[in-house]
């Protein structure tokens, strides 16, 4: 019996990941609940001594010493009290050993049910405590199954859920797939801890950079802000806390290795790394990278910024479906309006205009219109190509060319 009891306790501890004390407490609580249900009273004060080696339980019940017993469950006579405590008097509370031989047989099933319930609760508490400490962190996980659009993730001791809004758009998952997830929150529910994980959360990008850039941990550089549209593009602003340290270059890494490692974890997502500035105009200019900005007019009162860019860079500044300007506004906290400048860039002289050949025939006119249309298409394609290219890659290539 002794070996069986110890083996059962050790097995529960190993399988559920809970301590021996938790299991023993659960068993004691179950025995008390079973005793009160089948032999005692809810108002009784009951204590159990459980032998951790043999599993033998001894039950003690506290009763009041009275002259005339009205409720034997909670009262006893002075004569009986003196058998336990010689100097007992009326009104004393005496703890006596319960010797009910039928208890083990009748209450076994009740105790078993309560034990299972208490152990399950203890297991949930362990999981909740462990994963609460991991909120805001990235952990390795395995895709488990799919249900109602949700993706369930195997986290080892628990299962996490990744809701559709926490998934990267167009990213495909399959059972058994190894992925990194960001722990958004851990909530205690009636069915146990609910662990919500994400791959689209902006702070996932932050944590990935912390894994790749050791200078963040020692405080040399830091991330000032993040604006993310998961699966498409992320803009992060960075700053240096040490003189002579280039924050953008630090995050990009030699030949772009650091930023490429982060992008590799996020699939097709582009990442723009820009320098943070306390000057709003400069910050907004940086945030619109890779667009060339002519000037920025700041309206402090309404938190608005009017940005002028060359006409041929207007599409690039706005971005596909407004993505570039939208992310820049989100990153800086300013409402940003983009305005193209017709006279921006190199101006053509009157003489140059007059010297341009004019089409004289219908065929010449048609050729001229086709050429003009082709030129516009080429400009738009070039702008789209520049937009698709992360700003950090452009900077990295520029550095290589300078070398």
Over 70: is that where the pLDDT of 26 sits? yes
pLDDT digits (tens, 9 = 90+) for 366-385: 443 334 334 444 444 555 55
Which domains are delineated in the chain? 2-128 (3.30.1480.10), 134-200 (2.40.50.140), 203-402 (3.30.300.20)
pLDDT digits (tens, 9 = 90+) for 354-365: 333 443 433 443
Do 396 and 256 contact (CB within 8 A), yes or no? yes
User: Kind of pairing, strands 192-198 and 221-229?
Assistant: unpaired
pLDDT of residue 385: 56
The predicted model gives 373-402 an average pLDDT of 48
pLDDT of residue 377: 42
Sheet containing 221-229: which strands, arranged edge to edge? 221-229, 233-240, 270-275
At 349, list the tokens. 């002289």
Do 126 and 17 contact (CB within 8 A), yes or no? yes
pLDDT of residue 383: 52
Residue predicted with more confidence, 190 or 283:
283
Helices 20-38 + 103-132 axis angle, to 10:
140
d(CA 401, CA 379): 24
pLDDT of residue 103: 63
pLDDT digits (tens, 9 = 90+) for 120-170: 888 888 899 999 999 999 999 999 999 999 999 999 989 999 999 999 999
Over 60: is that where the pLDDT of 272 sits? yes
Length in residues, the chain: 403
Do 305 and 336 contact (CB within 8 A), yes or no? yes
Q: Which region, left, alpha or beta, applies to residue 291 given φ > 0 means left and ψ of -120 to 50 means alpha?
A: beta
Residue 244, C-beta contacts closer than 8 angstroms, at least 6 positions apart: none
Sheet containing 335-341: which strands, arranged edge to edge? 295-299, 304-310, 335-341
Residue 375, C-beta contacts closer than 8 angstroms, at least 6 positions apart: none
Q: Which residues of 24-43 are buried (b: 16+ CB within 10 A; e: fewer)?
A: bebbbbbbbbbbbeebbeee
Dihedral Cα 227, 239, 313, 303, nearest 10 deg? 60
């Amino acid at each position: 019996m002794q070996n069986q009891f110890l083996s059962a306790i050790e097995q529960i501890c190993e399988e559920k990941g809970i301590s021996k004390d938790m299991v023993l407490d659960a068993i004691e609580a179950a025995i008390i609940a079973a005793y009160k249900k089948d032999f005692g009273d809810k108002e009784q004060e009951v204590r159990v001594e459980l032998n951790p080696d043999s599993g033998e339980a001894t039950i003690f019940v506290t009763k009041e010493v009275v002259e005339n017993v009205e409720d034997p469950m909670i009262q006893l006579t002075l004569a009986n009290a003196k058998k336990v405590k010689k100097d007992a008097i009326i009104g004393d509370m005496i703890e006596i050993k319960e010797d009910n031989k039928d208890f083990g047989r009748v209450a076994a099933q009740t105790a078993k049910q309560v034990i299972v319930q208490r152990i399950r609760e203890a297991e949930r508490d362990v999981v909740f405590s462990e994963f609460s400490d991991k909120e805001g962190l990235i952990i390795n996980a395995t895709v488990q199954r799919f249900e109602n659009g949700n993706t369930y993730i195997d986290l080892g001791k628990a299962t996490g859920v990744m809701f559709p809004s926490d998934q990267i758009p167009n990213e495909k998952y399959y059972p058994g797939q190894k992925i990194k997830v960001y722990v958004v929150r851990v909530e205690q529910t009636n069915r146990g801890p609910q662990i919500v994980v994400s791959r689209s959360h902006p702070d996932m990008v932050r944590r990935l950079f912390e894994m790749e850039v050791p200078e963040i941990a020692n405080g040399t550089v830091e991330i000032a802000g993040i604006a993310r549209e998961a699966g498409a593009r992320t803009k992060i602003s960075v700053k240096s806390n040490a003189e002579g340290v280039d924050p953008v270059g630090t995050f990009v890494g030699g030949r772009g290795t650091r930023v490429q490692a982060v992008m590799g974890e996020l699939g097709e997502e582009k990442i723009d790394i820009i320098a943070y500035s306390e000057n709003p105009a400069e910050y907004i200019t940086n945030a619109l990278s890779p667009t060339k900005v002519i000037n920025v007019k700041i309206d402090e009162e309404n938190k608005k910024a009017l940005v002028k860019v060359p006409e041929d860079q207007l599409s690039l500044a706005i971005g596909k479906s407004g993505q570039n300007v939208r992310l820049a506004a989100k990153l800086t906290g300013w409402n940003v309006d983009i305005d193209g400048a017709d006279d921006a860039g190199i101006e053509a002289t009157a003489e140059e205009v007059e010297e341009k050949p004019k089409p004289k025939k219908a065929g010449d006119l048609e050729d001229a219109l086709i050429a003009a249309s082709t030129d516009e298409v080429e400009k738009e394609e070039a702008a789209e190509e520049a937009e698709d290219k992360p700003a950090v890659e452009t900077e990295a290539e520029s550095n290589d060319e300078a070398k």
